[in-house]
Amino acid sequence: MKTNNRFENKKVLVLGLALSGMNAAKLLLELGAMVTVNDAKELNDNPDAKELISSGIKVIAGSHPIELLDESFSFMVKNPGIPYNNPMVKRALELGIPVLTEVELAAEILEGRLIGVTGTNGKTTTTTMITELLNAGRKIGKAYKAGNIGVPASAVARVATADDDVVMELSSFQLMGIEAMRPAIAVITNITEAHLDYHGDREEYVKAKWRITENQTAVDHLVLNWDQPELREMSQYSKAQIVPFSRTQILKDGAYASEGSLYFKGEKVMDISDLRVPGEHNIENALAAIAVAKLSSVANESIVSAFHLFYGVEHRIQFVADLNGRKFYNDSKATNILATKTALSSFRTPVVLLAGGLDRGNTFDELVPFLENVKTLIVFGETAEKLKDAGEKAGIKEIVMTDNVASAVPISYQYSEEGDTILLSPACASWDQYKNFEVRGKTFTDAVHSLVKATSEEDGSF
């Protein structure tokens, strides 16, 4: 961890706890700051706050009193989920108090190389791919993944050494709170519309994403999706060396796909068939990861070896098992129709689709054109009837209604044949039956593994 005196003996307000706030408060205390934490959750129901109090940190819980900002703070570090129109944040800015996010703190103490990954879609998968590729065949140091991926950046930065890499997934929320963060390599996977309720409009959202490169210099690299005209146009405003990637065109100075293979600067790196994750979007993610790996001098053999072992990020079109020629995939993260469209577009084999969940009042008519490859639809949860209706409109002959994900798994096997894909991609949030999409996904994978075990015992191959 780098020595950093910026916060020593300075009053710092941490607004909002959760993982990022908790770790930011601990780091600031270690850096010599006088830390106050303000969290909306009541103290009696707030174990994180109690832990910080036991560490000697002042905690104000249960509300956000605006008068707290009269205490002459030098900095505010806010949870990235708290918008900038929050009264506490607005007042801090009016008073001229710098408002940072936890990733900026992490960047300030990080000794190793920082690789930042942002974009609307594919951030988590690309971050994970890059980390796996950088660790493949590595002899000195280690690559860590951190940030929006669910691992607090400041916690990783405290242990990373000068020989290590930190691959940091960065949301637009986090990027809005940076000042000096400067990735040696920055990656923008793509940009579409998202989080407009937070940013106000698309222009502000794009500006937030683009901040990943604002402190880069000519010795740094910016890896960009060249298939997006908007990013091609914006590339001229970065001081970094541009490294493009494309699924549709040959790029002599970047990564690209051509005739079934993936290339970097004209050199074949691997066959697309070596990827274990399906879908054109994953080809783009792999190209971005390959660009970072080649800029880091990773050998082609190590890249191929790492991809052979990469079966996807948990709950995101994650390969689970192959049972008698049926491949099971867990895409529980598909909590909306768009995500399920992407999943269905990733397969050319016949699909047995498991879908359903929380009813948000919408229909599933826009999913109908994407169901043409679905041979059997198994539905559950509050939206079961609506999804059944969509399946009938799509002409699916076999539609089965069941209670939940666990009961859907053996039914899916019963209705499948060798060569089929069995896909959990609910197109709905999980909260009608499950705490979150992770619990729903684990329920699915546990049911699949139980089915594999039971089937193996029956045929004597266990």
Residues at the annotated binding site for ATP? 119-125
Strand partners, 401: 379
Residues of the binding site: 119-125
Q: Are strands 318-323 and 326-330 parallel, antiparallel or unpaired?
A: antiparallel
- 456's enclosing H/E stretch is helix 437-459
- Give me the DSSP letters along 380-411: -STTHHHHHHHHHHTT-SEEEE-SSHHHHHHH
Distance, first Cα to last Cα, the chain: 49
Spatial distance between the Cα atoms of 167 and 170, rounded to a whole number of angstroms: 10
Spatial distance between the Cα atoms of 369 and 344, rounded to a whole number of angstroms: 10
Choose among 163, 143, 140, 144: nearest CA to 154: 144
Residues 6+ apart with CB under 8 A from 332: 315, 424, 426, 430, 437, 438, 440, 441, 444
Strand partners, 145: 167
Residues 6+ apart with CB under 8 A from 402: 378, 379, 380, 408, 411
Spatial distance between the Cα atoms of 409 and 73, rounded to a whole number of angstroms: 55
Residue pair 187/221 in contact (Cβ under 8 Å)? The answer is no
